A = this chain, B = another copy of it.
């Protein structure tokens, strides 16, 4: 755990995230992978309705890769209704359109709705159907709206844990939007415009001596393109030093021969 990270309050995040409800899951592997994906996204309330191979399931533990805190508190139910009874906002995932009147949300829209809801003190959950057949219409009817992931229409069947991940991912991204995301690595100090300019002028002087800035009428364009190329990198102070070193090295023998 990164003790310095004051922006991440797992207790708070885990409490307000949606519950994940797997209906009739067939493979323990998928339950374990779902638990891992959940914890990756800061979710930890997993509920199972009639898991085919019983519970606990060793394959689930193996695939959870350490997301033990999720499996330890996983609860098992006999019916979907029991599993969602304490929630007050439920979404159902489905790849197929049904003959039902339902609002259809993308995962991103679903995340927004869930957060709107929990911000008001509500408890939300998302239903996922069994691997082969997906949710029954009776389960879907329980939900406030359905989630449909926009995917390749010629190959749209997502693995169960992949579907759980996408929902959790969109939820977390929405939660994190107020947090600062680091824009670049390292403690490196950016070079000032003056430091850059000093390097460019030095490089130009060297290149001019070599006849690189020839013919004269093209010199301004060549200089501009050089600056343009290097400025794309947002050079750091260290990088400017390195570039000076390169120019020095490449021109070294030349200078020696002049003396």
Contact = CB atoms under 8 A, between A and B. Distances in A.
Interface of A: 1-2, 5, 8, 10, 13, 33, 36-37, 39-42, 65-67, 97-104, 106, 108, 146, 148-159, 161-162, 165-166, 169, 172-173, 176, 181-186, 188, 203, 206-207, 210-212, 222, 225-226, 229-230, 232-236, 238-239, 242-243, 245-247, 249-254, 257
22 contacts: A1-B154, A2-B154, A13-B152, A40-B152, A40-B155, A40-B156, A67-B155, A98-B185, A100-B186, A102-B184, A102-B185, A106-B173, A150-B173, A150-B181, A151-B172, A207-B246, A225-B238, A226-B246, A229-B242, A232-B233, A252-B254, A257-B257
A213 to B, nearest CB: 9
B104 A155 contact: no
Contacts of A210: 249-250, 252-253
B236 A42 contact: no
Nearest to A39: B155
A203 B150 CA distance: 40
A166 B164 CA distance: 12
A229 B225 contact: no
Count the copies.
2
Nearest to A155: B39
Contact of A251 (B10, B181, B235, B250): B250
A10 B150 CA distance: 14
A185 B257 contact: no
Given A8-B154, A232-B232, A207 B249 contact: yes
Which of A5, A66, A67, A246 has the most CB atoms of chain B within a 10 A radius of its CB? A246
B8 A152 contact: yes
Contacts of A36: 159
A154 B12 CA distance: 14
Contacts of A1: 153-154
A233 to B, nearest CB: 4
Contacts of A249: 207, 210-212
